[in-house]
Structure 1
């Protein structure tokens, strides 16, 4: 796999060097457009390959983390790792009841003092 990456990188560098020395002045409008479209297709193909390799790298890292004992079972969605996964008990996952505000009854001696400067 590493050899493929190195070879691809070298090939890409050679293509970049070749493109730098290309002379577009002798090309017609149609040829330039064709070259542009072919290059765009190649870019999209490379981006698709890059995206799939990034996904693969992410899966490899998840697997490595799971095998190294990273706490959570990161590969639980994939195939089992050979150890049983405990199923959660029903009573544990229930939400606790919502807390209610306590009902406060005002004390009879807690009266709001009358303020003569306020109307009413």
Structure 2
């Protein structure tokens, strides 16, 4: 029997990589791509576990899933960081450079 490529194996790997690359885009893009990669990897793993001899490319699925998990963690950390910055400085402080300078000086104790 001829082996066929596992569905979405390459897409899962690409989404896993992109979730790490885009984690600095306020954390949202990387989080979405990571979650999509995890869901696709779960489906591909179920298909592979039913008949492992019929499919190739499972290594891409495993690698993509690991990269997606790393991307999700980095995206969540980035999102928490940006939320903290906005909570501390406020939206007005983010738009007004002089107000931000004052907040930074307060933070430094000057």
Choose 1 or 2 for highest CA Rg: 1
Scaled to the shorter chain, the TM-score interval is: 0.3 to 0.5
Indicate the structure whose relative CO is greater, using CA pairs within 8 Å and at least 6 residues apart.
Answer: 2
